[in-house]
A and B are shown apart, each in its own frame.
Chain A
Amino acid sequence: MSTLARLEDEWHDEIPVARLQGEVDASNVKEMGDRLRSLLSNRSVALVVDLSQTTYLDSAGINMLFALADELRGRQQRLCLVVAETSPIARMVTLTGLDQAIAVRATLADALSEVGAGGE
């Protein structure tokens, strides 16, 4: 198990929210991707990945998120990211065009309303 990053999850109705804390690089990206996928069920309409406490994310992580978005899209599910506006992660997301491919919001509340979780 990698100690670089931790994944905490919480549920808003049927929508899983994964809070990714720490660093994601080539050494732990597969493990993180697998754990994100494991949060989804057939009833999930979306997955929210909260990157506000992510301290490092490079192309390995960006690629994983692109791939995850493709998979979800194929199952009529949505991927939404929470990225603080001024964080270095936001620049990576913009730089790679990830924000063009999937919804990126500055707060969890915004992300939840984006994917239609009630009352948040």
Chain B
Amino acid sequence: MDKNLFSQIVFYCFAVVVVGSAAVVVFSRSLIRSAFALLFTFGGVAALYVYLGADFLAATQMVIYVGGILVLLLFGVMLTHKLYDLNLRGEAFQFLPALVLVLVVFSTLVFFMLRADWFSGGERAATPTTAAIGELLMRDFILPFEVASIFLLIALIGAALIVRRKSQ
């Protein structure tokens, strides 16, 4: 089979997986099913990153999103499942008006995004990105890099503080 055609077909498969599983996350009645569908969303997005030539980012996505955040979400679901209606708001939006609103948002976004004239800095060739990312992180973006470490420190202390049992 023609390589290009095959690649396109696989792309569409991944696209369907991403959007489909996201739909399951949103519309499913079971919390656990949503959490597992989210796994496929994250995985599908990682595959799309590979298509876009972002190899480092794809690996990071799998490791952190699937291996970290998703596991955390599953823990959260499992540990609080007895209290199923951990309700925040008695008055969440009704389903139908929300659906209409969201459809309007989606169509507006798609309509204008497809017609807009994006910046034309040239298409990037599919080269490995890790070295380039490393260089930028150590040079142009060194301040955000260091600040991110303090940020993570604060998040760590805060999360541990909130979850700690004894008030000591």
The judgment on whether A and B are partners is: no
A positions within 8 Å CB-CB of B: none
B positions within 8 Å CB-CB of A: none
